[in-house]
Copies of this chain bind each other. A is one copy, B any other.
């Protein structure tokens, strides 16, 4: 399990997201946070590739080539509907617009992850389908008043008030929260076992 694999490691989480810290805490991982201020402009590129590129950029921006012990972990989460990528809403009206778009529909949440150590790194991504129920205009504004949507891709958080709108998901729940736990477990196990050879 992860807390055993990583117990004597120097793990750096290259992310400001409180949800990712929550997941690392849930897994009892020893880690510290180191973030860069790189921008993540969204382009027309394939969404999964973008998520991976952004994750890799975040990792590379904080990787120290002096400290060979560090393992950097980063992630980038995006919401995709109708081939449109939804980032964090810029204001309340955009949040309302995003929520109307997601209402009564299915969308995809994609998280790219990157693990970097010494002169090696690996990236991968996970996709989860999320089905929203119909959200009334009253609920949209009630929800925006909670302030939960404002700092989140797609203008919702699955792990808070937003849980009420989620009829079902197909895939990894933690991926929607911002960090695909099972994928990380599998990937880092492979990544570190190769190192031991």
Give the 3 A-B residue pairs with the shortest CB-CB distance, closest first: A173-B173, A163-B181, A164-B185
Q: Count the copies.
A: 2
Q: Chain A interface: which size bin?
A: 20 to 34
Binding site for B on A (CB under 8 A): 1-4, 23, 26-28, 128, 133, 139, 142-143, 146, 158-161, 163-174, 181-182, 185-186
A133 touches B1 (CB 8 A): no
Contact of A163 among B27, B164, B165 (CB under 8 A): B27
Shortest beta-carbon distance from A111 to chain B in Å: 14
What is the CA–CA distance of A27 and B165 in the complex, to the nearest angstrom? 12
- In the complex, what's the smallest C-beta–C-beta distance from A170 to chain B, in angstroms? 5
Say yes or no: B172 contacts A170, CB within 8 Å: no
